[in-house]
Structure 1
Amino acid sequence: MEHWKEKLKKVRENKPPSPATLSQLVEAYLESNKEHLLCLNGLYELIVQGTERPLIELVLKKTRYNQSKAAVILGLNRNTLKKKMIALNLSKVRKKSD
């Protein structure tokens, strides 16, 4: 089975991932690590924590930390995004020169 990181690299080279592709990547990751992961408690939280921070950080960078724009892209309320940013220590203030 192809490693999930290799699959992700191929996806990035070709086109943006579709929801089906993202689902396949998560499934491949879980399948390749099932012996280890199935022994853990809190697998859901592990996956959410592992994906939430890079997703929010990427969108914030693309919007130059404009929280209103980032919230719309993410489909979150701006206050919810702000709380997540604080919890994830992503509270960078947008620079005026950006």
Structure 2
Amino acid sequence: MPTFVVTYTYSPDSERLDTVRPEHRAFLGALHDAGSVVVSGPLPPTAEAAAGALIVLEADDADAAVGLLDDDPFRREGLVTDLVVREWVPVIGSLNR
């Protein structure tokens, strides 16, 4: 099955992000348990980029990858200001350590 990388850019509303984060993590955890999410985690802010997240998942195509994340509480609450999805074809290494 194809692998996709999804990046989120978060809203600057850190208080709301903190409030919704447990539900967001439970949602992604359930997708991981179901075998769709391979790995995910936050992208800390830098001088050039706002805080966000990187989510690696397996899906039939890019639309299905985004569809898996439709019910993410962060998206539902408007806390994701930008979402980018790209197919990823790893050729060296493994996420399994």
Structure number with higher strand proportion: 2
**Larger C-alpha radius of gyration, 1 or 2?**
1
TM-score, normalising length from structure 2? 0.26
Pick 1 or 2: higher relative contact order, CA cutoff 8 A, min separation 6: 2
- TM-score, with structure 1 as normaliser: 0.26
